Amino acid sequence: MPCRTVDTRTGSLLEFQDAWASVVRMEASPIGEARPRLAVRACTVPGLSLGVFVGSPARIRRTKALARDCQDDVIICIERRAALRVESAHGGARDFLAGEAHVWHADVPMTCDVGGAFSALMIALPGALARAAEGFDSVLRAGGIPAATPELRLLSAYARTALDEMPVMRAEMQGLCVSHLQDLALAAFAAAGGAMTARQPSGVRTARLAAIKADIRAHLGEAGLSVDWITRRHRISARYLRDLFADEGTSFTGYVTDQRLVHTHRRLADPRLAHRTVAEIAYEAGFGDISWFNRAFRRRFGMTPSDARAAASGTSRAGT
C-alpha cells in the first residue's frame, strides 16, 4: 500500500518546493521570514487518499498545467491552526477559519495562502462519489463546510486515526475504513448542505461509537461516567446510545464494566504497582463495591484478582 512520509528538516527552499510538488502536485513558495518546512504523512488506498501536512506559512498553487494532470477527485482540506485565503477558478476568493473545511476539485486551478504555521488534514474522494452526495452542490458553492458540524469533527477525528493505522492494516480492514470515511464525508456534505436525513449512513454510526468508546476508556476511573454523561458530551439521545451498543450485541453498562475489568487486570499485572492493594486499583478503575468487583473479575478471567497478580508475578520471575 502506498504510504509515505516526507520531512524537509533542512529548511532548504528547493527541498520544500520539491516536497509539495511530489506529494500533491502543487507549486509552493514561503510566506514571511520563517524557514520553509513541510512534514507529510500520507496514504492512498482504492477509493481514498489521506494526508496530514504540517508546515510553515506558504502560498500553494495548482496551476492549469498541474490541474490538467490531476484525477477527477474532490479534496476536503481541514486546517486546525491557521486561517486560509483561497482563490479558485470555480469559487472566486474565500477566507476559511481554522477548523473549517475547504472543499474543491483537484483538477481545478487554485491558490491557497496560509499565513501561519499550519496542520492540515487532506482527504481525497472519487469525484463521481462526491458529486452524487446530497448537499454537495451547496457545499461546493459555499466553498466548504463550517467547523461547527459534528459530522465534520467526526470525519476529521476518524481520518487522523485511520491514517495512523493504515500502514499496518489488513486489506479487508482498509476497505472497511475507506467505506466508513466515505460515509462520513457524504454525511458531512449532506449536513452542511441542509440535506441530512434521519437515516444516517452506517459509517457515521461506526465512527460515533468508536468516539464514544474512546471517551469511555479515557474516563474509566471517573465516578460520573454514565449514560447521561456520555449523551451530553456527544449530543445524542440515550436511546441512540443504547442502539449503538445493541448493534454489537452489548450494552453501555456491559462495555464500561468490561473495560474497567480489563484495565484493572492490566494494572494488577504491572510490577511497578505491586505496592498498591487490589482494592486501591479497583477503586481507581471506577469500581465502588469491592465484593461485586471480585465476583465480576472472577467471571471475566476465571481467577481472583489476587490470583491474577500472583500469576503475573510468577511469570515475571520465570523470565528473569
What residue segments make up the domains of the chain, in order of their start? 3-200, 219-318
* Distance between start and end Cα atoms, the chain: 40
* CATH number for the domain running over 3-200: 2.60.120.10
Q: Are 171 and 142 in contact (CB under 8 A)?
A: no
Provide the pLDDT for residue 197. 43
All cell numbers assigned to 46: 482504492
Q: Are 144 and 98 in contact (CB under 8 A)?
A: no
Cα separations in angstroms, 28 against 18, 21, 264: 9, 8, 51
All cell numbers assigned to 234: 456527544
CA distance 232 to 80: 24
Mean pLDDT of each 10-residue bin along the chain, 320 residues long: 84 93 94 92 91 95 91 92 86 87 92 93 89 83 85 91 88 84 88 58 64 86 90 81 90 95 93 92 93 94 93 58
CA distance 18 to 142: 31
Q: Return the CATH number of 219-318, one of 3.40.50.280, 1.10.10.60, 3.90.330.10, 3.40.50.720.
A: 1.10.10.60
- The DSSP call for residue 36 is P
Provide the pLDDT for residue 174. 86
